Amino acid sequence: MASPAVDAMRVPVDFARGCVIPAHPLALDTDGRLDERRQRALSRYYIEAGAGGLAVGVHTTQFAIHDPEVGLLRPVLELAADVATGYERQTVLVAGVYGPTAQAVAEAELAASLGYHLVLLPPYPGLDEHDLLERARVVGEVLPVVGFYLQPAVGGRELSRDFWARLAATESVVGIKVAPFDRYRTLDVLHGVVRSGRADELALYTGNDDHILADLIASHQVVVDGRTVDVSFVGGLLGQWAVWVRRAVELLGEARRARAGDDLALRRLLTLDGQLTDANAAIFDAANRFHGCIPGIHEVLRRQGMLAGRRCLDPAEDLSPGQLAEIERVLAAYPHLTDDDFVAEHLDRWLA
């Protein structure tokens, strides 16, 4: 029997089928206060660019918003939900929840009260795999859960293949964001999903910002207990897709054509995969273990006029030495990956 959460709210079709889900940044003014006008503008940009969902309260939004003393979790979740309800087309709303079990449950209840469809559940330090599974089960009684393999460099941890099999077998789990930035760990998730027997029920989303297009065009044949099962990523839930979203939507469509047998699309995407990874390395500050990841995203959005600056909740969090030059290099090298013209056409209206 499905969990109460799944019974109470059917998983949105667009999520199951696969879509572009940007990890929503946090817009702050020069004094470090929430800039509601630009926060709304970002949501409008993503929706009108064709994104199927918004992920709010996730790493890209800055985990510090989950601190009650910061006091931004509710207003940020509310703003995105309010913007989304203004459009006729449904937007899949994914709330990032954090903390130990009691906090994660309370945040899931908040998200449910605001109309969110799903929760994205990253690991939490200090909880072993058994505790993490129990946490997912309890949170899943509130809203359907999307599991999250978060890379260790930004707060995640390595998790076993058995963990992913057991998480995937949890009926309230409806998808997994696979973002270890590691081929071996990515395969652990795929094998675990097949072992769970629910490979045809779960929506797998790439969060591997260093390998986006290759993930989306590949069909993995996983052999478990003598059975061969085809497993594919249906979409992406990505920090990289917080920028250049119009182009991301086009690339996902092209990836679907490639998987369907379009050889020319496949060849184009294999070339673009390396270019997008190079651009991501600059934006995410891979050279410095991703220290400047969020400021890098902010810098691209600042140049487009979406954000007033790069300000983070921690005012000391900024670009690493040399990162700005790298961002300028990739912007010059790969203009075909950007959507600057689309943003320029609509920016004034989004900010109005």
Give yes or no for a contact between 325 and 332, defined as CB atoms under 8 angstroms apart.
no
Q: Mind listing the pLDDT tens digit of every residue in the chain (352 residues)? A: 345 445 445 689 999 999 999 999 999 999 999 999 999 999 999 999 999 999 999 999 999 999 999 999 999 999 999 999 999 999 999 999 999 999 999 999 999 999 999 999 999 998 999 999 999 999 999 999 999 998 888 888 899 999 999 999 999 999 999 999 999 999 999 999 999 999 999 999 999 999 999 999 999 999 988 999 999 999 999 999 999 999 999 999 999 999 999 999 999 999 999 999 999 999 999 999 999 999 999 999 999 999 999 999 999 999 999 999 999 999 999 999 999 999 999 999 999 9
Q: For domain 4-246, give its CATH number from 3.40.50.2300, 3.20.20.70, 3.40.50.9100, 3.30.200.20.
A: 3.20.20.70
Sheet with 53-56: list strands edge to edge: 20-22, 235-238, 203-206, 173-179, 145-150, 118-121, 92-96, 53-56
**CA distance to 43, 138, 183, per residue, from 162 (Å):** 37, 19, 17
- Where residue 159 falls (left for φ over 0; alpha for ψ -120 to 50; beta otherwise) is beta
Alpha carbon distance 237, 285 (integer Å): 19
Cut 0.85: pTM above it = yes
Lookup result for tokens 């799944």: 6
Rounded (5°) CA angle 224-225-231: 25
Instruction: Say how far apart CA 120 and CA 122 lie, in whole Å.
Output: 7
* Neighbouring-strand partners of residue 222: 229
Domain ranges (residues) in the chain: 4-246
